[in-house]
Amino acid sequence: MAGTDSPRARDEALSRALERRRKAGLYRRPRVVDAGFEAPWQMVDGRRCIGFSSNDYLGLARDPRIADVLAQAAGRWGTGSGAAHLAGGHTREHEALEETLAEWTGRPRALLFSTGYMANLGALTALVGRTDLILEDRLNHASLIDAARLTGATVRRYAHGDPAALRRRLEAAGQSRSFVVTDGVFSMDGDVAPVTEIASVCAEHDACLIVDDAHGLGVIGPDGQGATAGIAPAQVPVLVGTLGKALGGFGAFVAGSEPLVETLIQRARSWIYTTAPPPAVAAAVREAVNIARTEDWRRERLSDHIGHFRRSAASLGLNLAPSDTPIQPVILGSARAAVTASEALFEAGLWVPAIRPPTVPEGSARLRVSLSAAHADADVERLLDALSGLGPMTAGS
Ligand SMILES: *Cc1c(COP(=O)(O)O)cnc(C)c1O
C-alpha cells in the first residue's frame, strides 16, 4: 500500500515546503563562481562582477605567493593528510601552523580544527557538562548556538553586546558553573563585542569566557591580533579563530592554555573523529598568517574603504549598522526587499548577498556588504553609485 511516507509522498511534501519558502522570499541557492579573474573581480553565474560577498578581508585568498606555497607543499605532501590527527594524519606542517597561531595570539598552545563550525562544536562539548550554564550573546553565530545545544547544558541568551545584561544573567544563575560565549566581531552586523567589559563580568562571577573571533582575527588590532588584542590571555581562556576568512585559506583553531588544548585532544569529538586538513593547506595558511601579521597596509587600506563607504552611504540616507569593520550591513527589513536589491545590484555587476531570516532576526533582512583590501577606491565608488540608484528601495523601511 502506498502510504503517506512513500518516497513519492515524501518528495511531494518536500516540494510543497520548498514552494512555501520560495513564496516567502526565503529560498536559497548557491551561485556558481568561475576562475580566471583577479580579485575582487569574479565570474558569478556567468556574469563578470565585483565581489562584495567574500570574507577575504585582506585580499589573501588569491594571493599568488600563498598559492605558490600551496602548490609546492602539495608537491611534497600530496593532496590529503590521509587520516585523523591521532591516527597518523598530524604532520610537521600542522604542528608548525599550530606553533605560529599560538605565538600570534599570545597563547601557550593552539589546536588546528578542520573548520570553525567544528572548532566550536569541539570546544564547547569538550569543556561544558550537562549541569553547567552557557550564556550566549543573542546574535552569536549559528555554530555557537548549535555547539551549546549539543552540550546538553542549560543555554540562555543575553541582550546583544550588553555586559550589564550578562551580569544579571550570571547573578540569577546561582551556583552553576558558567560559560560565556560571544563572537568577537559579529558576523552579520559587523560590530565588535565589548570583550574587555565582558571579560571583567566573567572574572567577577568565575565564568569561563569563550570568544570566537572568526571575523576579527587578521582584520582589527595591532598585527591583526583581533578583537581580544591587548586583553590578558587569562581573561579570554578560550579563543577560537578561523583561517578561511581574513587569512584566505581553510580551517580553524582553538588557542589557550596547555591543559585546555590537551583536554581538547582527549575530548573534542569534532577533532578526534575527522580527517586532518591537507598538510599543504596548513603550509599555505602559515604563509598567510605571516603576510597578514606584517602587511599593515592591507588593514590601512581596508580602514580607508570602511570610512569612505560609511560616510557616503550615510549621506545617501542608507540604513547602516553601527560597524567599524569590513562587514557593512545595509538593513532593508523584509526578505523580499533584500533579495530584490541584491538582484538589482547583481544586474549592475556587483555581487552583494541578501541575508535573510533565520540567519538574522525577522524584519532585519539586509544586504551584507563586505569590504576588502583587494577593492580599489573605484570599486567602492561603483557600489555606492549603484546603491544610490536603488533609491526608495534602500532608504529606510
Ligand atoms: C564563519 C564563522 C564560523 C565558521 O567557520 P568556518 O571555518 O567557516 O566553519 C564560526 N564562527 C563565526 C563567528 C563565523 O563567522
Average pLDDT per consecutive 10 residues, the chain (397 residues; last block may be shorter): 79 96 88 90 94 97 97 98 98 98 98 98 98 97 97 97 98 90 97 98 97 98 97 98 98 98 98 98 98 98 98 95 97 93 96 93 95 98 94 54
Atom 6 (ligand 1) nearest CA: 116
HSE-CB for 322 with a 13 A CA cutoff: 4
Atom 8 (ligand 1) nearest CA: 116
How far, in Å, CA of 284 to CA of 249, rounded? 7
Grid coordinates of 70: 600551496
Please choose, from the candidates 216, 214, 256, 254, the residue with its C-alpha nearest in 3D space to the C-alpha of residue 232: 256
Please choose, from the candidates 178, 247, 244, the residue with its C-alpha nearest in 3D space to the C-alpha of residue 219: 247
Sheet strand arrangement including 350-351: 33-34, 41-44, 47-51, 350-351
Which residue ranges have their beta carbon within 6 Å of ligand 1?
A: 115-117, 120, 141, 143, 183, 187, 212, 214-215, 242, 244, 252
Per-residue H/E/C for the chain:
CCCCCCHHHHHHHHHHHHHHHHHCCCCCCCCCEECCCCCCEEEECCEEEEECCCCCCCCCCCCHHHHHHHHHHHHHHCCCCCCEHHHCCCCHHHHHHHHHHHHHHCCCEEEEECCHHHHHHHHHHHHCCCCCEEEEECCCCHHHHHHHHHHCCEEEEECCCCHHHHHHHHHHHCCCCEEEEEECECCCCCCECCHHHHHHHHHHCCCEEEEECCCCCCCCCHHHCCCCCCCCHHHCCEEEEECCCCCCCCCEEEEECHHHHHHHHHHCHHHHCCECCCHHHHHHHHHHHHHHHHCHHHHHHHHHHHHHHHHHHHHCCCCECCCCCCEEEEEEECHHHHHHHHHHHHHCCEECCEECCCCCCCCCEEEEEECCCCCCHHHHHHHHHHHHHCHHHCCCC
How far, in Å, CA of 96 to CA of 113, rounded? 14
Q: Measure Cα distances from 315 to 49, 179, 311, 364, 393 in Å.
A: 25, 42, 6, 21, 16
Q: What integer pLDDT is reported at residue 392 of this predicted model?
A: 60
Cα(225) to ligand 1 centroid in Å equals 17
How far, in Å, CA of 318 to CA of 293, rounded? 34
Q: What integer pLDDT is reported at residue 2 of this predicted model?
A: 52
CATH class of 32-58+296-394: alpha beta
Q: Measure Cα distances from 379 to 183, 302, 341 in Å.
A: 29, 13, 18
Per domain, the residue ranges of the chain are 32-58+296-394, 64-293
CA dihedral 353, 359, 365, 367 (to 10 degrees): -20
Exposed/middle/buried for residue 241 (C-beta within 10 Å: 0-12, 13-18, 19+): buried
User: What fold, for 64-293?
Assistant: Aspartate Aminotransferase; domain 2 (3.40.640)
Ligand 1 atom closest to the Cα of residue 242 is 7
pTM metric for this prediction: 0.95
Phi, psi dihedrals of residue 153, rounded to the nearest 5°: -75, 170
CA dihedral 9, 15, 18, 19 (to 10 degrees): -120
Ligand 1 atom closest to the Cα of residue 185 is 13
Ligand 1 atom closest to the Cα of residue 187 is 15
Cα(241) to ligand 1 centroid in Å equals 8
Residue to mutate, 185, 187, 189, 213, ligand 1, most ligand atoms under 8 Å from C-beta = 187
Ligand 1 atom closest to the Cα of residue 186 is 13
Cα(4) to ligand 1 centroid in Å equals 39
Q: What integer pLDDT is reported at residue 24 of this predicted model?
A: 86
Determine the Cα angle at 218 with ends 277 and 222, to 5°. Answer: 140
